[in-house]
Structure 1
């Protein structure tokens, strides 16, 4: 198991939710024509894998999961903030996502950051840390 599997777990949860709410998602390294309305961008950003036991068999795979809420500029902040709060609620601290023998935990409460304006878009980042522990023996 690897950071690739962790990203797949996180993306699956977001993708299912976004599909059920009819919200487009710009997935990493996939072409997408940005819609006129709001959409999401998702990134799993792995950190260095470490070991924490003397046998070096317990591997810790940490990282940051970030979902950007992207809204058209000039429409105020309320719709984007509401969507950012929904994304934060979708990934509460302690959430466990499991596939086979891999369980990924949301390790910190999601943080909804200040919006970043541009000429055409207003982006609100929502970030949280994740962690998975894997025994290799």
Structure 2
């Protein structure tokens, strides 16, 4: 499934950026426990419907939204999260190529900041962008 390949292409780029900062990224593949006072990211793939616009069904088109939520401890200045939004906007610019194991795609919409979600011990600033790509569906050996 090429949504998985799109996710992998995005996460490789995100993890390289996060490791250089350093900032941790929570995902479903491993356990995660936030440390006291830690700023971290939560990342999600929200796939949309798969389409086939080609005669013979040789390639499928995959689109979706990738969300990166910035989680900060309560009392932390909002400006810190907003600077991370700016950095993510630079990292995932429109027309950034996404390529992974036969999936070829692009980021099609800019990073957009959603409303801040407040809780007693933390607040979350969600960001998201859309991707679109094509993967060849021809049988192996064809």
Same fold (TM over 0.5): yes
Structure-2 residue corresponding to 1:15: 15
Q: What is the match of residue 97 of structure 2?
A: 96
Structure 2 residue matching 1:105: 3-state secondary structure: strand
TM-score by length of 1: 0.92
Structure 1 runs (4+) greater than 6 angstroms displaced:
none
Q: Which runs of 5+ in 1 are unaligned?
A: none
Verify: 1:71 aligned to 2:72, yes or no.
Answer: yes
Alignment of 1:1-137 (within 5 A): 2-35=2-35, 36-137=37-138
Q: Is the 8 A contact 1:88 1:126 kept in 2?
A: no
Per-residue deviation, residues 86-112 of structure 1 (Å, max 9, x unmatched): 112210111002234322210111101
Question: What per-residue deviation string (whole Å, max 9, x for no partner) do you get for residues 43-63 of structure 1?
Answer: 111112110123222210111
Structure 2 alignment gaps of length 5 or more:
none
TM-score w.r.t. structure 2 length? 0.89
SS at match of 1:55: helix
For these two proteins, the number of residue pairs brought into alignment is: 137
